[in-house]
A and B are shown apart, each in its own frame.
Chain A
Amino acid sequence: MKDTGTSDAALVELCRRGNTRAFDELVGKYQKTLFNVALRMTADYDASEEVTQQAFVRAYERIASFDPRFKFFSWMYRILVNTALDHLEERKRHDRLDDEVPSDEPDPSDLGEREDSEAMLQAGLMDLTAEQRAVIVLRHFEDLTYEEIGAVLDIPEKTVKSRLFSARMQLRAVLVKRGYRFHG
């Protein structure tokens, strides 16, 4: 996990004393990383903005209950991933209700100007379950260790490992099914 150092702890302490500028600094520091996690989880640019914003607001509302023994960034990751999972659950419910309406499923290529392989990768990620996607995103895009992923998702390391292994196999299968060619 990224070295968040003591400066995060100091900023969090200032936030707890009501200093909103300190929280704004934390937002500035982590918005890009967290936005990209949300984007990988939802494949929807607008929804990712909403999810990231909501996660920051939730964090601010609960900053008083933050345990300083933990890293702020792990805690923030956890809030973001949970917010993204909530959003996906809500979207699924909404889609079920709107079966008759033309699908509003996000376009996996809605990622700015990306290469085809990128779009294919994102489409493959969206074919995984949200739980599988979360471990892939945290491991491969955020470079978190098993232990850190376990802390973010609140699951034992053993579960992280088995979920990650099966998610990789599943991702490989869906990419092959979508016609992606792996090169030697």
Chain B
Amino acid sequence: MKLVGIVGSNAEFSYNRILLNFIAKNFKKLVDVEVLDIKDVPMFNQSDDQTNSEVIQNLNNKIMQADGVIIATPEYNHSITSALQSVLEWLSFKIHPLDEKPVMIVGASYDVQGSSRSQLHLRQILDAPGVNAIVMPGNEFLLGEVYDAFDEDENLKDAQTAQFLETCIKKFIRFINVVKVIHAPEGMQDVSDTEDLYATGAIDTTVEGIDMSADDWLEQAAEATQAVEGNTYVKLNRGLLTVNQLNHFLNSMPAELTYADSNNQFLYYNHNMEKEDMLAGRRPEQVGSPLAECHPERVFSGVSWVIQQLRTGKQDVVRTQVPTHGPDKFVVHSYQAVRDDEDNYIGINEYVQDIQPIIDWYLEQTGQQLTGGGVDAVSGATSKVDTVAGATVKS
């Protein structure tokens, strides 16, 4: 993952530059951070457009290519510096490299405030429509009394503070990934026309001449194909079972199984429960229906997207968690591509499971416990931070 760190000051000596260098050096196993200076950026003037100058274009390109941006801001007069303000004005005038870019704010200051007010201003500025960055909420890293914060090797002296900074960086990495999901073009566009959800075509195995929507499609299709059943043997790779054995075997699977073919026709589910008792309800008369008739129209785009992922081979399995079953269950829908010996996509195996019992069993067997990820939002920098206003008594 590639980040750029922007030094929010044009001063020759800046603790915020030292802070960003520390981040780049100390967390290089986690992220690749390139520290950028803004001291050569001219003062913004809308009547003297210098968007195409080398220094602004350089910032523009570096930001565009980065997965995220860390801005380190000092505090001047309860706000950010005019130098940083000017940069943000250039980057929101004719060009908009920060548009929808994940941004993390850190800051260092000489006083106890640790840039608290300027960070709030910066959030509001980054939220302006011309800038439109996506700023990570919370995780406020304020480094007060900064003249005493670093040792001679420019490392943070206080281990707790460094630990808190690491937590913030790790969260930012996760935040960037979340933002990527939100902005995946597939998630934004209506892609429902990429799949024939009404199964209007036919493949080699399609049983033609029978109304797919008919409640007794299965009975009609079985008759038309002279399908075997009951105690007739079926030869499989690798084994021999009767149809009854096969049915009971599939019904004993610890998941709800559904098969839809590459023509988007719903052909099978392991029917061992009534619809109301299932995690993802199915009715016997639905078998044979095109997928369009098994889903409400508002999800057509999502369904098509999933099928496209599998059909085109972008993914072999797409998983999604459905949180509507309450806190005692963790229900996962997995859409697994079914491929033949030549690796051609021939359909979907959707299996729906509550994996909570498996996790509980694992924890019980290994004597482990789930924790919140070791994150302590109030530790670290707080020893140097005064979030209560009124520190101005010193002045």
Asked whether A and B interact, the reply is no
What is the interface of chain B, defined by CB distance below 8 A to chain A?
Answer: none
